[in-house]
Structure 1
Amino acid sequence: MKRILLVCAAGMSTSLLVNKMKDYATSAGKEVHIEALPVSEANTVIDQADIVMIGPQVRYQLPQVEAMAKGRIPVVVIDMKDYGMVNGQAVLTKALELIGE
């Protein structure tokens, strides 16, 4: 099972996207664990994640999150259009592509 961590400002704005991603994963038969946390809490679970995706509103914190990941996993900013349209399919597809699924 792949673990996807979404990081945003407070962890709440991404919850809709997480739900859409989970819905698509279920319909596509993908086994994934997806959670959203604020940047301040990301370090508590980053060691278990296979990828970290950052909300575009906190893209300025990319260097901080990359430092937490220590080069072990991909850290990417979610496409602003996909984030704004809550396109769970596109975001999940991108995440799985980046981790080789």
Structure 2
Amino acid sequence: MNIILVCAGGMSTSILVTKMKKALAPDQLDWKIEAHPVGELSEYINEFDVVLLGPQVSHKLKGVEKEFGETGKPIAVINSLDYGMGNGDKVLRFAIDLQNNK
């Protein structure tokens, strides 16, 4: 599975990406998890299965859903507490649940 996290600039979210990668199980090590600015999502959308928005860009959720909803990919906002605490394991499980329940 490939997961993209989008935020304002892609920088703060890269810390969470690192923690999510550390939470991967051995059979998940080939998964791709990256962070990019929300404005660049159209360049990357086809490479990913799940789209997670950082809480700081949660106001863009409806626009992202409108633009990319037809892809059928789950799109959701990361829980602000999990984001702020850098809880990579919880955010990873959230992405897996979104993919499994799409």
TM-score where L is the length of structure 2: 0.90
**Aligned partners of 1:17 and 1:52: how far apart in 2?**
14
**Corresponding residue SS for 1:43:** helix
Structure 2: tracts of 5 or more residues without a match: none
Shift in Å, 1:65: 1.4
Instruction: Say whether residues 1:99 and 2:99 are aligned partners.
Output: yes
Shift in Å, 1:22: 0.4
CA RMSD after TM alignment: 1.3
4+ long deviations beyond 4 Å: none
Please tell me the residue identity of whatever aligns with 1:61. K
1:38-57 matches, within 5 Å, as 38-57=37-56
**Aligned partners of 1:12 and 1:48: how far apart in 2?**
20
Query: Contact 1:21/1:89 (CA < 8 Å) preserved in 2?
Result: yes
Shift in Å, 1:47: 1.8
How many residues align? The count is 98
Identity of aligned residues (%): 46
Shift in Å, 1:48: 2.1
TM-score where L is the length of structure 1: 0.91
Q: Which of the pair is proportionally richer in helix?
A: 2
Equivalent residue for 1:89? Answer: 89
The superposition leaves residues 69-90 of structure 1 with CA deviations (integer Å, 9 ceiling, x where unpaired) of: 2331110000011000000000
Shift in Å, 1:63: 1.4
**Aligned partners of 1:92 and 1:32: how far apart in 2?**
11
1:18-29 matches, within 5 Å, as 18-25=17-24, 28-29=25-26
The superposition leaves residues 53-77 of structure 1 with CA deviations (integer Å, 9 ceiling, x where unpaired) of: 0000110000121123233111000
